[in-house]
A = this chain, B = another copy of it.
C-alpha cells in the first residue's frame, strides 16, 4: 500500500514542470563547470571547488534517476530515452567505481551534458525525427556499407604494397575510404598511387562518384523528411479532410 502511494506521488513529483526545469538548469550549470575545468589556469586556483561541485551534480542526477526509477519501476525501461539517461548516468559514475586504471575515463563526465537532448522535449523531437528518417534509409545505408566494404577489401589487396600508410589492413583502408568519401585531401592519397598504377585514378573516381551519390541521397532523404514531413503531412490531411467533407455534403444532398 505504502509502496503504491509512494509510486503515485513520485510520478506526480517527476512530472512537475519545475522538476524538469531544475534538471535542465543543473545540466547547463554543470556544462559550465565542466568547461571551466578545461582551462588549466582555472583548475590551478579553483580545481577542488569545481570537482566538489561536480560531485554535487552527480548526486543530483543519481537522485533524479532513482526517483524516476521509483516512479515508473520496470516500465521505466520501456522508453528508449530512459535507457539513454540511464546509460549516461552510469557512464558518468564509472570514474567513481575505483576503475582508476582507465585513466582518462573521468573525461566521460562531459557526456552528461548530452542529457539536455533527452530532457528538453523539442530537442527530443528533432532527434526522434532524424532517427525515424534514418530508419527509413536503412536499406540505402546497407548498400553504402557493402560498397565501402568491398572497396576496402579491394584497395587493401591492390594498394597495400604501394601505399602501406593508407591501406595496411582492413581498418586502415576503411578509415582511408571514409576520408576519401568526405573528399578531404583525397588527391594526396590517389596521385602517388596513380604513379604506380595508372588505373588507380579510375578506381577512386568510380568509388567517389558512387558513394557520394548514395551518401547524399541518404542525407537529403533524411534531412527533407525529418524537416518537411510534418508540414507536408498537415497540408495533406487538410486537403483530405476538405474532400471528405465535400463528399458527405454531396451524399447528404443526394440522400435528400
In the complex, which of the residues B184, B226, B245, B247 contacts A249, with contact meaning CB atoms closer than 8 Å? Answer: B247
Interface residues of A (CB under 8 A from B): 31, 34-35, 38-40, 104, 106-108, 110-111, 113-114, 116-117, 120, 122-123, 125-127, 130, 137, 139-140, 142-143, 146-147, 149-150, 153-154, 156-158, 160, 169-170, 173, 175, 178-179, 182-188, 194, 201, 205, 208, 212-214, 216-217, 219-228, 235-236, 238-240, 242-247, 249-254, 256
Q: Is the CB of A154 within 8 A of B254?
A: no
Are A39 and B170 within 8 A (Cβ)?
A: yes
Is B146 in contact with A113, judged by CB distance below 8 angstroms?
yes
Q: Which residues of B contact A187 (CB under 8 A)?
A: 179, 184-185
Q: Give Cα distance in the complex from A225 to B229, angstroms.
A: 12
On chain B, the residues within 8 Å of A116 by CB distance are 146
B213 and A217 form a contact (CB under 8 A): no
Question: Which of B34, B122, B150, B220 makes the CB contact (< 8 A) with A223?
Answer: B220
For residue A76, give the distance in angstroms from its CB to the closest CB of chain B: 23
* Contact A216 B205, beta carbon cutoff 8 Å: no
